[in-house]
Chains A and B, each alone.
Chain A
Amino acid sequence: MNNLQKYIYRQFKKNETAIHELNYLFWECTSRCNLSCLHCGSDCSKDTSFPDMPLDDFLKAIDSISSPAKNFTVVLTGGEPLMRNDIEIIGREIRKRGMRWSMVTNGYIYTDEKHNALLNAGLGALTISLDGLEKSHNWLRNSKHGFTRTERAIELAASSARLNFDVVTCVNQRNLKEMDAVYNYLKTKHVKTWRLFTILPIGRAKNNPELLLDDFQFKGLMDFIVEKRKRKEMDVKFSCEGYVGDYETKVRDGAFFCRAGINIGSILIDGAISACPNIDRSFSQGNIYTDNFYEVWQNKYQAFRNRNWTETGLCEKCGEYKNCQGSGMHLWHGGKENVLVCHYSKIVK
């Protein structure tokens, strides 16, 4: 983007922030999972001691939304959402309200029957995690049959023209070299969209260097995405995990914009009201068991909608601050004195 475009984009972001229309709501409907991934805890700070949230509690919260946005979507996440046996009922209740729903899954129990039942219940978008070819995927997912099960889920999702579906891959030391092979594999499976992200040095990943990319490898990953996007065979993209300077718009459809608390909200397993589930839980803005969800959305979220507080630590004197604004909210933890990872600094070194 040239400077004028960057300026306009900043104004656009300001405008979006002022409007803060809620159109993407995560529901952390369970903390149960059927896998024990090596990187679990690096992308979330889940407390597995909570029971599944009753559907009625969630519905009561979304019924507080007086006039939902046209494309308002509930994104079911967990844990593994399919551990619940009422996902189809949940989906139908959401659709009854004129809203849409989607789901993130590891694909392990995404069977042919389940696929049919979910589509019948109005599932509209789906994300399936695949972390490399068979050996790498099974290693990261800590599961012997993980790959085979996920492969079937991908085939089913790709066979449905109705689903807006993508595969996400968590890039690490073990699978980095096979990204080309994964790309070719996904092509054979007719996958149209592939999203890549890296692992943050928190949770279990902090003490496992095999999970983390060094700066050189990270830059290599950006180049890989740029090259694959040029081919226009598949929509390959970098996730929204951080600001990447000159790579912006070359590795994604649009430039970086952390919409947490601006368009993205969440209801977490304990009823906490927040934004993306990978954001530090101390950013919670209320709780559906004590607050009116939509009132919280409309009137709170100050830390999300005014990011000036991120101008500290590494970001304080950064020349890119006005475009980056402290990167993603999920990169601020603990005392919020410093950004956990600066993706930009990885590519300019």
Chain B
Amino acid sequence: MKQNHFQKIIRGLSLTSVMFVFQACYGTPQDFGYDVYLSGVVTSAVTGKPIKGIKVSVENTSQYELTDSVGTFNMYVPKLKNYKVVFEDVDSISQGSFVSKDTILISANNSIQVNIALESK
């Protein structure tokens, strides 16, 4: 492409390789897209029904999300080599009690889908 060709020449001349990264005065830095889309459904291993209110978190990040009324969760998490995703029942009274579970996932592309069934306590 014409653009890439010219940019390569400029880079080659060592003007600066970062001139292609810019921000406006009142704008933000650019996003380099270091994240992965993590989604899935949490169900009961006994009834097979979706569970609402399960806390889904990724170890070594501060992020978490609670499953919705159909047991689904979806969140963008930092790009890592692998993920330990933890499922915890933090709403045991209304939905019954479930045993926490975690699972290790490898990130191969920009999205990970994980469906998990939790045992009852």
Contacts and interface: CB of A to CB of B under 8 A. Distances in A.
A264 B30 CA distance: 12
A161 B75 CA distance: 16
Contacts, number: 144
Given A75-B27, A104-B28, A240 B22 contact: yes
A71 B31 contact: yes
Interface residues of B, number: 36
B22 A77 contact: no
B70 interface: no
A127 B26 CA distance: 9
A119 B22 contact: no
Nearest to A13: B19
Contacts of A121: 75-76
A26 interface: yes
Contacts of A89: none
Nearest to B21: A253
Contact of A249 (B6, B16, B30): B16
A164 B27 contact: no
A43 B25 CA distance: 9
Contacts of B48: none
B19 A5 contact: no
B22 A12 contact: no
A127 B10 contact: no
A166 B24 contact: no
Contacts of B10: 8-9, 12
Contacts of A54: none
Nearest to B2: A19
Contacts of A135: none
Contacts of A101: 31
B93 interface: no
B15 interface: yes
Interface stretch (B61-69, B84-92, B113-121): B61-69
A126 B28 CA distance: 6
A43 B26 contact: yes
A253 B62 contact: no
Given A100-B31, A120-B65, A240 B25 contact: yes
A26 to B, nearest CB: 7
Given A21-B3, A124-B35, A254-B18, A166 B63 contact: no
B6 A24 contact: no
Interface in B5-56: 6, 10, 13, 15-16, 18-19, 21-35, 37
Contacts of B63: 116, 119-120
What class of interface size applies to chain A in its complex with B? 35 or more
Interface stretch (A208-216, A255-263, A292-300): A255-263
Contact of A122 (B2, B35, B64): B35
Main secondary structure of the interface of A (DSSP, over half): mixed
Contacts of A201: none
A161 B34 CA distance: 9
B29 A165 contact: yes
A330 interface: yes
A25 B64 CA distance: 29
Given A119-B76, A253-B18, A278 B26 contact: yes
A125 B31 contact: yes
B35 A162 contact: yes
A164 B64 CA distance: 20
Interface of B: 2-3, 6, 10, 13, 15-16, 18-19, 21-35, 37, 61-65, 74-79
Interface of A: 1, 5, 8-9, 12, 15, 19, 21, 24, 26, 43-44, 71, 73, 75, 77, 95, 100-104, 115-116, 119-127, 159-162, 164-166, 193, 197, 239-241, 249, 253-255, 257, 259-260, 263-264, 276-278, 328, 330
Given A104-B28, A330-B25, 13 more contacts: A120-B65, A124-B32, A161-B78, A164-B32, A240-B22, A240-B23, A253-B18, A254-B21, A257-B19, A264-B27, A276-B25, A276-B26, A328-B25
Top 5 nearest A-B pairs (CB, nearest first) are A124-B31, A254-B19, A120-B75, A162-B78, A102-B28
21 contacts: A5-B15, A19-B2, A73-B31, A115-B62, A119-B75, A119-B76, A120-B63, A120-B75, A124-B34, A125-B31, A126-B28, A127-B27, A159-B62, A164-B32, A166-B29, A193-B29, A197-B25, A240-B23, A241-B25, A253-B16, A278-B26
